Amino acid sequence: MQSNRNEELIEYPCDFPIKIMGATHDDFLTTVTNVVRIHAPDFDATTVETRTSTKGNYLSVTATIKATSRAQLDNLYMALTSHPMVKVVL
């Protein structure tokens, strides 16, 4: 059975976690939270989870949004990956 390439793997709306990593900086959390909020206005920043690397050089931020479409996720990923403070987005 051949799968349809246009078939969505994700059912929208859904809770969708995004992990954002960058160098530890006083403004990193606020900056990435603001970028996420542009693309997901109902995003609740109080739900963010953070983790600092062992040596304290990097910060990982997990933001869970209510994803409404593939286009929304694509735009959010593009905005985050193009931001100079962000190193990796998963």
CATH code, 83: 3.30.70.260
Q: Which of 52, 49, 56 is nearest to 19 (CA)?
A: 49
> How far is it, in rounded angstroms, from Cα 80 to Cα 62?
13
39 within domain boundaries: yes
Q: pLDDT tens digits, residue range 4-42? A: 555 578 899 999 999 999 999 999 999 999 999 999 999
1 within domain boundaries: no
> How far is it, in rounded angstroms, from Cα 90 to Cα 18?
6
Per the structure, the complete domain to which residue 34 belongs is given by: 17-89
- Please tell me the total count of domains within the chain: 1
pTM above 0.85, yes or no: yes
3-state helix, strand, coil in the chain (%, to 5): 30, 30, 40
The rounded percent of the chain whose pLDDT value lies above 90 is 89
